Structure 1
Amino acid sequence: MTTPPAITMRPVDPEQDAATIHSWTSQERAAFWGMLERPVDEVRDIYAYIDEQPHLAAYLVHADDEPLALFQTYDPQVDEIGQFYDRRPGDVGIHLLIGPGHRPSGATAAMTAFLAGWVWSDPAHQRIVFEPDVRNDKSVAFLGRVGAELGPEVQLAEKVAQFGFLTRDAWFARQKPRAARA
């Protein structure tokens, strides 16, 4: 049996991480991220802006010290996305972009568990809000795999979003049978 990789996360450093993020977001596979044509200096500026906003955050996720994913959070009570669905206290919005290339065996599952644990470690967070592009089959399928309930499809400025909602209770209810099998 293979040991899953060690997953860690740290805030994005716009200067240090712009080249890595640009190399991921400028690939066709990341078209839904909306940054295909952005030069590296614009990517740096976008993440510098995110870093300055109290309701936004961006992190680089690592597997065994190698960059694995870009993880972003936002507060739907403040962010404009909140006007497109029924906001609730305790909502936290997330975006996830898994980087290209080889991933160690078990990295995606370990990362998902790590990120969920991180989100739920804040007792104020009661529900995760997802809103991938409806054409992003992989992201929409991910919602089902983590147990998110699909919400409405909503026309946003840049996409038609498929909303999904994952409550704290639903996440932990799904984990109990898995823990019993382990």
Structure 2
Amino acid sequence: MTHSAPLHSLPLPDGRRLSADCGAGSLVLSLDDRPLLVARREGDCWQLGGPASVEMLWAMAYWAFASDAPCQRVRFTAASVATEAFSLGLASRDEIGGLQLERAAFWQLPGLWLQSTGSAGYPQVWRMNSGRRHPLRAPKPQGEVYRRFDARLGQWISLRTLDVELDLERFNRWQNSPRVLEFWQEGGSLEQHRAYLEKLAQAPHTTTLIGCIDDEPFAYYEAYWAKEDRIAPFYEVDDYDRGIHMLVGEEHHRGPHKVESWLTALVHYLLLDDPRTRRIVAEPRADNARMIGHMQRLGFCKEKEFDFPHKRAALMVQSRETFFERCALC
């Protein structure tokens, strides 16, 4: 959806601020009050006054796509375009040779959002685990891994790895809340939850994450490599499929608009983390109609229902192609 009010300022994860001055057919973008780009609109095309650098085009793409979620491409002209903009995939040519910035390409660039080195480029070497052949996984990240200002919410959405000492009490409180307990069934004592989290910390295929809004922890996620997980026998798993388990612990951060923010951020992070990941999967309880409905609204498809030993589950799948083609990040 388009924002009801013009978007004039966007804070960046590195502390800088992108500002826009939009007039009748004109655009001036500044970075920390430093003029960066001046453009005039002619029809559906922005005309830049001189050479276009990577920084200029990145800023223009971010402002355009954050301002207008339905916008899929920005056409522009420039005296010249930095070669790197094409090699990165930031700029491309349309079917008649015109210059363009595409939403689906822009949001696949790690840019400033990815705060860790990720798994991209990690060598593909093979291991056997419980009779399953899978790629050796990169070392798990530590600290903050993803940060982006959600222009729709007007708040920061970020992900960091779970710290057992820092997060144990809130994890225990969340798991013992009746709403979470109904679906997770992992209630218990602090000692039991410490053992649960320490076991996951030793599991090479699982990363535990804390979701934050404006740096307030509100959600817990488990991101796992599906090839090594219990879900693998139930569908045609790919070597780099990622799976997710999710819970929102803080009541005041519930609601469809918040789900749209944090679920798209979580999927975005995992797809940026390794470009070889083609699908994100999940297996909520089949009777969790509310969560399944949220996921379907945000691009997941329900492929089937199946039986785990402990529950009847729905196989929910989000493909890389669908996510970026329908991407409503802003």
* The two structures share one fold, judged by TM-score above 0.5: yes
Task: Provide the residue aligned with 2:270 in structure 1.
Answer: 119
CA distance in 1, matches of 2:153, 2:252: 16
Between Structure 1 and Structure 2, the one with more strand by share is: 2
Instruction: Tell me: CA distance 1:45–1:167, structure 2 relative to 1, closer, same or farther (3 Å).
Output: same
Amino acid corresponding to residue 282 of structure 2 in structure 1: F
Quick one: which of 186, 198, 202 aligns to 1:35? 186
Task: Provide the residue aligned with 1:46 in structure 2.
Answer: 196
For this pair of structures, how many residues does the alignment match?
A: 177
CA distance in 2, matches of 1:143, 1:113: 10
CA distance in 2, matches of 1:151, 1:3: 31
Consecutive unaligned residues in structure 1, runs of 5 or more = none
CA distance in 1, matches of 2:235, 2:254: 37
Q: Is the 8 A contact 1:14 1:45 kept in 2?
A: no
Task: Provide the residue aligned with 1:151 in structure 2.
Answer: 303
Task: Provide the residue aligned with 1:25 in structure 2.
Answer: 175
Q: Greater RCO between the two (CA within 8 Å, min separation 6)?
A: 1
Q: Secondary structure at the match of 1:6?
A: strand
How far did residue 124 of structure 1 move?
1.7
How far did residue 20 of structure 1 move?
0.4
CA distance in 1, matches of 2:153, 2:312: 39
Task: Provide the residue aligned with 1:88 in structure 2.
Answer: 238
CA distance in 2, matches of 1:3, 1:18: 28
How far did residue 166 of structure 1 move?
0.6
How far did residue 90 of structure 1 move?
2.4
Task: Provide the residue aligned with 1:55 in structure 2.
Answer: 205
CA distance in 1, matches of 2:259, 2:155: 10
Between Structure 1 and Structure 2, the one with more helix by share is: 1
How far did residue 104 of structure 1 move?
8.7
Q: Secondary structure at the match of 2:309?
A: coil
How far did residue 48 of structure 1 move?
0.8
CA distance in 2, matches of 1:129, 1:104: 22
How far did residue 108 of structure 1 move?
3.2
Give CA deviations for 1:122-163 in whole Å, capped at 9, x if unaligned: 202110011000111222112211211211211101100000
Compute the TM-score of the two structures, normalised by the length of structure 1. Answer: 0.89
Task: Provide the residue aligned with 1:139 in structure 2.
Answer: 291
CA distance in 2, matches of 1:132, 1:139: 8
Q: Secondary structure at the match of 2:233?
A: helix
